[in-house]
Amino acid sequence: MRKVSSVLAPALFVGSMLLVGAALVRADDDCQRRTINADHKLHEAIEHHGPDSAQAQHWRQELAESRSYCWEHNHRWWDEDAHRWRTDRDWDDHDHEHPNH
């Protein structure tokens, strides 16, 4: 019986690590997808309604919330403009207020 548990314990550990890893990847995918969507919608709102429009303000808020959520849960956030993950909380909530961004 001891031999079986000495084989089972490492297998259970590896299995649990795979599940945790899959959950982290899924969380990263959700954060990235949500951030990409908000960033895209913000750019569209600015293009169609102007940088000071209610639509742009709505998507600017969504983008800020997405970045904050990712930071709080993963300690990193997706920078869609640079197409990379960032590990410092250095985003600017006003970075899309000017048309040249």
Write out pLDDT tens, residues 32-79. Answer: 999 999 999 999 999 999 999 999 999 999 999 999 999 999 999 999
Domain assignment of residue 20, given as a range: 2-86
Residues 6+ apart with CB under 8 A from 101: 81, 95
Residue 75 lies in a domain: yes
Residue 23 has pLDDT above 50, yes or no: no
Residue 63 lies in a domain: yes
pLDDT averaged over every residue in the chain: 82
What average pLDDT does this structure show over 16-43? Answer: 75
**94 inside domain:** no
Q: Is the pLDDT of residue 19 over 70?
A: no
Q: Count of domains in the chain?
A: 1
Residue 99 lies in a domain: no
Which one-letter amino acid corresponds to residue 44?
Answer: E
Which residue in 39, 84, 67 sits closest to 47, CA to CA? 39
